A and B are shown apart, each in its own frame.
Chain A
Amino acid sequence: MSQSSNPSKAARRRAPSGNDPSLLIMTSLASGPKHGYGLFQDIESFAGQRLGPGTLYGAISRLEERGLIEGLEPEGRTRPYRLTAAGQLALQETLAEMRRLLDEGTARLALGPRLTAKARPA
């Protein structure tokens, strides 16, 4: 079965996650260019996550390959990265999707839990 014929699976695959290294990097770069260690420190400060160096650079290489970020001129042994226009658009779309999910979840919680017939106590 192709991916497009299974929308729920495709949707799950696309669903943004708050601890996705790519999303964390793009969010960090939204405030300006940073090199690897700058990203590492910034992500730790705003998300409380210490990304492993392999995880961080794996995500950087993928984002660069997809044209969502780009490397600037090297500064010594490091190279700053910045969001491209496509990266800004992708980040906006992802955050909008997360906001929709956040609003939906908040609204449902406000209505209170509705127990299913199976879970309802006798």
Chain B
Amino acid sequence: MKGSADTGVWLRCYPPAWRERYGEELRHLILASNGPGPLPWRVRLDLVLGGARERLRSFGLGGVGIPPERRARAGVLLVLCAWAVMLVGGGVLQRFSENWKKVTPAVHRGLPAVAYDALIVAAAIAGLAVIVGIALAIPSLTRLLRGGGGHELRGPAARAVEATALAIVASVALLIWSHQLDSAQRNGHDFAYALGFVLWGVAAIACLASWTALAVKAARKIELRSSLLWIETELAALAALGMLCATLATGVWWGALARVAPGALSDSPPGIHSSIVTSQLLLAGVLMGGAACLALGGAAYALRARPALRD
């Protein structure tokens, strides 16, 4: 039956646990109210939005009636996801900015250098907060694994290990390749190397994403005492603040450099006008800005849930 198959596809918008409980009833309602033909777009949209809402709720976000522990944990995990995005943005920025001091006259380095240092300090503080947050959760994870509750983590863990192996192989290959090229070839004048670099970037992002997914899955399974969750929200807020400062510092660095040494933002020879908005810098800015917004939202969500946490 066309309608039945169609319904199955749209029901996949919902989280598995929700489908397990309400899926059959929902399928019956859809077929009873729409008949066996293809679903109207209005119904499809309703199912997509409903599924998105339930997925957010299963993560602990949105809606009323979600316990404060789940809300705090969801906010903290949002910050962790934001940190992964920030690392990608920071990586793009680092690649773009690695030579800026060499091509900027010393007399013009003042404000950009201060902003760049502030960016590194803020990112280091955020990174440290994330690492401490993860470290504090490790005893709970160990208890989960010892109690035999880690079987659901095997799939994500296997994917993370595979992605890491791929990223390591790609990194070694790229390193060997880069030693056979000159500076110009390494900086975009060799198309094959540029393509290889992009593929390496994809492998690195896949590695980061798989570890983040594993961390999120594990963090949703482990038992966290309220006192520990309280500390985690503090660390999440600190990390979010660090990400915000890093993003703002990037903006200052970009603006200052565009004013005093625009040539440093492009590969153009001195005297040739070119845009100070390059695709790499734009990508880095969007990723970092998006990550900072996500982190601030997550931290605010976690902090709002905190007063209701049980002692």
Interface string of B60-86 (1 = CB under 8 A from A): 000111000000000000000000000
Q: Which of B26, B43, B49 contacts A36 (CB 8 A)?
A: B26
User: What residues of chain B lie closer than 8 Å to A37, measured between beta carbons?
Assistant: 28-29, 32-33
Q: Does A62 interact with chain B (Cβ within 8 Å)? A: yes
B13 CB → nearest A CB, Å: 8
B33 adjacent to A54 (CB under 8 Å): no
Q: Does B188 interact with chain A (Cβ within 8 Å)? A: no
B30 adjacent to A53 (CB under 8 Å): yes
Closest residue on chain B to residue A52 by CB atoms: B46
Interface majority SS on B: helix, strand, loop or mixed? helix
Q: How large is the interface on B (under 10, 10 to 19, 20 to 34, 35 or more residues)?
A: 20 to 34
Q: Does B267 interact with chain A (Cβ within 8 Å)? A: no
Q: Does B51 interact with chain A (Cβ within 8 Å)? A: yes
Q: Does B146 interact with chain A (Cβ within 8 Å)? A: no
Please choose the segment from B17-25, B93-101, B163-171 that sits at the chain A interface, where 4 or more of its residues have CB less than 8 A away.
B17-25
A40 adjacent to B33 (CB under 8 Å): yes
Closest residue on chain A to residue B53 by CB atoms: A58
Q: Does B50 interact with chain A (Cβ within 8 Å)? A: yes
B21 adjacent to A61 (CB under 8 Å): yes
Interface string of A56-97 (1 = CB under 8 A from B): 111011100110000000000111000000000000000000
Q: Does B299 interact with chain A (Cβ within 8 Å)? A: no
Closest residue on chain A to residue B7 by CB atoms: A53
CA distance A42 to B64 in the complex (A): 26
- Answer whether A61 and B54 are a contact pair too, CB < 8 Å, given A36-B26, A53-B46, A78-B28: yes
Q: Which of A35, A36, A60, A65 contacts B65 (CB 8 A)?
A: A65
CA distance A61 to B21 in the complex (A): 9
Closest residue on chain B to residue A81 by CB atoms: B25
The total of interchain contacts (Cβ-Cβ below 8 angstroms) comes to 65
Q: Does A2 interact with chain B (Cβ within 8 Å)? A: yes
Q: Which of A35, A58, A66 contacts B54 (CB 8 A)?
A: A58
B197 CB → nearest A CB, Å: 43
User: What residues of chain B lie closer than 8 Å to A61, measured between beta carbons?
Assistant: 18, 21-22, 54
CA distance A56 to B50 in the complex (A): 9
B56 CB → nearest A CB, Å: 11
CA distance A66 to B43 in the complex (A): 26
User: What residues of chain B lie closer than 8 Å to A55, measured between beta carbons?
Assistant: 46, 50
Q: Does B207 interact with chain A (Cβ within 8 Å)? A: no
- Answer whether A56 and B29 are a contact pair too, CB < 8 Å, given A61-B18, A61-B21: yes
A62 adjacent to B46 (CB under 8 Å): no
CA distance A2 to B143 in the complex (A): 35
Q: Of residues A37, A40, A57, which shows the largest number of chain B Cβ atoms within 10 Å of its Cβ? A: A57
CA distance A55 to B43 in the complex (A): 10
Q: Of residues B26, B29, B53, which shows the largest number of chain A Cβ atoms within 10 Å of its Cβ? A: B29
User: What residues of chain A lie closer than 8 Å to B42, measured between beta carbons?
Assistant: 52
Q: Does B307 interact with chain A (Cβ within 8 Å)? A: yes
Known: A60-B22, A78-B28. 10 other contacts (CB 8 A): A36-B26, A40-B32, A52-B42, A53-B43, A54-B26, A57-B22, A62-B64, A77-B24, A77-B25, A77-B28
Could you list some 23 contacts between A and B, CB below 8 A?
Answer: A2-B307, A36-B26, A37-B32, A40-B29, A40-B32, A52-B43, A52-B45, A52-B50, A53-B29, A53-B43, A54-B26, A54-B43, A54-B46, A54-B48, A57-B22, A57-B50, A60-B22, A62-B63, A62-B64, A66-B64, A66-B65, A78-B28, A78-B29
